[in-house]
Amino acid sequence: TFTPFDGTVGRLRVIQGVVEVRITDAVRGRKDTTVEDLVEDEIARLTGSDLGCGSSYCIASGTHVMYMLPPATERFTAYATLGGIKSVFYDKNGLYVSFQMHELGHNLGLRHSKDEAESRSSSSCDKYCEYGDRTGNMGISYLAEDIPLMCFNAAK
């Protein structure tokens, strides 16, 4: 069960699991990892600590954190730490449920789900073959806030 955190940590107020962290550095054209570091530094400054579990983005044991970086950041899609607690999204990609579930799946230790038939039939299988499963969260993601209804399928 995932329960959104509600409360205050240092000077950081979290409401229903959401907090806006403002950074003063310009982010236009900067790499996502650079902006991510700036956000984590600001979180540490606001909380006066590592938030209680040995990392700069954790509030309590079992916490999962999703960052939505601003559109001025150098464009990327999304990524997550395999077996970790953090997912990072480019701008509005963090609003799309299939992106959220896909990256959270990585946090839970799941890898990509490809479509084996598609991979075998393609003479030049590009990166999209790796996401070829259109029925599960670890395959392709969709630009929609409330669809599709999918599940975590067995590995393919």
Closest C-alpha to 9, from 74, 59, 79, 81: 59
Q: Tell me what pLDDT residue 139 has.
A: 80
HEC readout, the chain: CCCCCCEEECCEEEECCECCCCCCCCCCCCCHHHHHHHHHHHHHHHHCCCCCCCCCCCCCCCCCEEEEECCCCCCCCEEECCCCCEEEEEHHHHHCHHHHHHHHHHHCCCCCCCCHHHHHHCCCCCHHHHHCCCCECCCCCCCCCCCCCCECCCCC
Peptide bond into 148 cis (omega under 30): yes
Closest C-alpha to 16, from 30, 31, 29, 2: 2
Q: Taking 90 as the threshold, does the pLDDT of residue 156 lie above it?
A: no
Q: Tell me what pLDDT residue 124 has.
A: 53
Which residue in this structure is represented by tokens 């730490």? 81
Q: Tell me what pLDDT residue 52 has.
A: 46
Top-confidence residue, 131 or 50: 131
* Per-residue pLDDT tens digits for 100-118: 989 999 999 988 887 665 5
74 near 33, Cβ under 8 Å?
A: no
Annotated domain spans of the chain: 7-131
